[in-house]
Amino acid sequence: MAGLATSFGSGAMTNSISEIGQAELLLLVGTNTTEAHPVIGYKMRQAARRGAKLIVVDPRRIELAEEADYWLRIQPGTDIPFLNGLMHIIISEGLYNKTFVEERTENFEALKETVEKYTPGYVSELTGISTPELYAVAHLYASTDKAMTFYTLGITEHVCGTNNVMSIANLAMLTGHLGRPGTGVNPIRGQNNVQGACDMGALPNVFTGYQKVIEPAAREKFEQAWGVSLSGDVGLMIPDMFERANSGEVKAMYILGENPVLTDPNSNHIRSGLDRLEFLVVQELFLTETAAYADVILPAASFAETNGTFTSTERRVQRVRKAIEPLAGKSNWQVIAELCTKMGLVVNYGSAEEIFTEMSALTPSYGGISYARINKQGIQWPCPTAEHPGTPYLHASSFTRGKGLFQAVEHIPPAELPDQEYPFLLSTGRILYHYNVTTPYSTAINSMWSEENAEISPEDATRLGLYNGETVKVTSRRGEVTTKVKVTDRVFPGMIWMSFHYEDTPTNALTSAALDPVTKTGEYKVCAVKIEKIQ
């Protein structure tokens, strides 16, 4: 989000899912769409079979690699050299969109200077992608009129995640693949309401709609609306919260529907932080690993017991409707509202709709959205007025920030790479059958997929004497877990891939503590481990 906010002024998917049907080329970088976002994956596969060109850039032989015109097996953590390499070819051969660059962007010279040294030879060495493929993909992407780029956490979960995103933005701006249907830079949001949680200001630096807490005018607006005085100091991001919990500066936490012990990198650090808190409230569906540390657990209502809205990856605000009564008798919003009132900020919401109405009045991009308008079909923000139809694609005639900003970015290697002691590269992600937290509690799903199957290459399996279904111990500098293995050429020799879904194999005990300096996102995609067979 920070990357696109810098380049374009707005940190969201620029275009819409349905435009996949119009695109002539799909460039997928670090997104295993058929597993993590299956319905979008179906549309990509349909597009490829209809004749759209498909370029898949992924270290793993993911399903869509089988459908692709080009599958580039990139070395993990070398996305910037790859993208800079494409731009090097596009600029040196004069294939870039000169009108777009001139009229719609700034800082082109800096980009040009930076990518100059990313020659195809140099890039091929770093990325493992052959030079003919680099040329072919550069030519194809630059010469196609409607090209959509998609990425997910394969781009952002790196120490250079923000730079990776800006590099993708650079490539799209350079070729003018923005501001029209069937183009754009499209991060697909992993969780159902990532976009909404960001839009709602569940972030330490902004109120709703990205209104900055450091801006006095924004503070004043919310102070007036809420009848309180507000802090202008930017708050802590999650890793800093746990840093300060460990150091004793953060004393109390309220955790709503998150299980950082299982899902955050370097989980031992999270556990010790939670342990040191004087008071912890967890509002959850289940007694999770995190809830076990709580002083008070509040039973949460599931989506089926909740009225409200989610905002999807394409900025579409859609209704969530209560089908059954909350098991524990209260909606989540009722509980937080009661706590507000009990502690002196009196709120009297009679329904979720009243909360939405208050929020949309304070949030320009949601200003024209109401429950009545989205009863049948969601609306894509920005939607500033009650007459506005919503916005399927952004940056049509100008970027949110005015001109698109090229950011000259250099290669930053992963913080931890394999060495003699920890010779394997571990990368992590999601599998089709599970979601981050709730699916292990689905009886149906869990009866089929209840344990980790780490992917290991046939070459390594042979060397280590491993067969499908055998158990190994995987150890990193931070922790160890045991897991079964699945021998497959989806991964390359020297690489092991694991999901993070299972309590019995808590993969994030292994993952790196390294963070992107801007977003403080963990480098889940690369760390070094060793593997030992358990007899």
Interacting residues with another protein between 390 and 449 (CB under 8 A): 432-439, 441-445, 447-448
Give the residue with the Cβ less far from another protein, 311 or 476.
Answer: 311
Identify the residue among 95, 136, 140, 328 touching another protein (CB under 8 A).
328
15 binds another protein (CB under 8 A): no
Q: Give the CA angle between residues 306, 312, 317 to the nearest 5°.
A: 65
Give the residue with the Cβ less far from another protein, 94 or 344.
Answer: 344
Shortest separation between residue 38's beta carbon and another protein, angstroms: 3
Identify the residue among 146, 254, 450, 471 touching another protein (CB under 8 A).
254
Give the residue with the Cβ less far from another protein, 345 or 396.
Answer: 345
327 binds another protein (CB under 8 A): yes
Shortest separation between residue 366's beta carbon and another protein, angstroms: 9
255 binds another protein (CB under 8 A): yes
123 binds another protein (CB under 8 A): no
- Collapsing DSSP to helix, strand or coil, 254 comes out as strand
Q: How far apart are CA 397 and CA 420, in angstroms?
A: 53
Shortest separation between residue 62's beta carbon and another protein, angstroms: 13
Shortest separation between residue 30's beta carbon and another protein, angstroms: 12
Give the residue with the Cβ less far from another protein, 284 or 452.
Answer: 284
Q: How far apart are CA 120 and CA 509, in angstroms?
A: 38
Give the residue with the Cβ less far from another protein, 356 or 399.
Answer: 356
Number of residues that bind another protein (CB under 8 A): 146
User: How far, CA to CA in Å, does 5 sit from each of 129, 293, 309, 404, 515?
Assistant: 30, 36, 24, 10, 19
Sign of CA dihedral 164, 170, 175, 181: positive
Which residue do the tokens 């990313």 mark?
Answer: 118
Q: Which amino acid would we find at residue 147? A: A
Give the residue with the Cβ less far from another protein, 289 or 516.
Answer: 516
Give the residue with the Cβ less far from another protein, 440 or 493.
Answer: 440
Give the residue with the Cβ less far from another protein, 122 or 286.
Answer: 286
Identify the residue among 95, 136, 140, 230 touching another protein (CB under 8 A).
230
**Per-residue H/E/C for 114-168:** HHCCCCHHHHHHHHCCCHHHHHHHHHHHHHCCCEEEEECHHHHCCCCHHHHHHHH
**Of residues 458, 535, 524, the one with CA closest to residue 492:** 458
**Of residues 54, 125, 133, the one with CA closest to residue 89:** 133
Q: How far apart are CA 114 and CA 120, in angstroms?
A: 14
Give the residue with the Cβ less far from another protein, 182 or 378.
Answer: 378
Return the DSSP state at 429. E
221 binds another protein (CB under 8 A): no
Q: How far apart are CA 173 and CA 491, in angstroms?
A: 32
Shortest separation between residue 441's beta carbon and another protein, angstroms: 4
Identify the residue among 42, 117, 215, 489 touching another protein (CB under 8 A).
42
Applying CB under 8 A, the span of 21-29, 43-51, 139-147, 492-500 interacting with another protein comes to: 43-51
Applying CB under 8 A, the span of 239-247, 390-398, 488-496, 501-509 interacting with another protein comes to: 239-247
Shortest separation between residue 214's beta carbon and another protein, angstroms: 9
Residue 433 and residue 34 in contact, taking contact as beta carbons nearer than 8 Å: no
Shortest separation between residue 293's beta carbon and another protein, angstroms: 9
Scanning residues 348 to 377, which ones bind another protein (CB under 8 A)?
352, 355-356, 358-359, 377
Scanning residues 269 to 298, which ones bind another protein (CB under 8 A)?
278-279, 281, 284-287, 294-298
Residue 517 and residue 152 in contact, taking contact as beta carbons nearer than 8 Å: no
Give the residue with the Cβ less far from another protein, 264 or 416.
Answer: 264
Give the residue with the Cβ less far from another protein, 130 or 247.
Answer: 247
Scanning residues 172 to 211, which ones bind another protein (CB under 8 A)?
188-205, 207-208
First to last CA, the chain: 45
Residue 19 CB-density burial (10 A; 0-12 exposed, 13-18 middle, 19+ buried)? buried
523 binds another protein (CB under 8 A): no
User: How far, CA to CA in Å, does 307 sit from each of 156, 232, 318?
Assistant: 31, 32, 11
H-run or E-run covering 515:
none
Sign of CA dihedral 394, 397, 401, 407: positive
244 binds another protein (CB under 8 A): yes
Shortest separation between residue 465's beta carbon and another protein, angstroms: 27
Sign of CA dihedral 177, 201, 31, 474: positive
260 binds another protein (CB under 8 A): yes
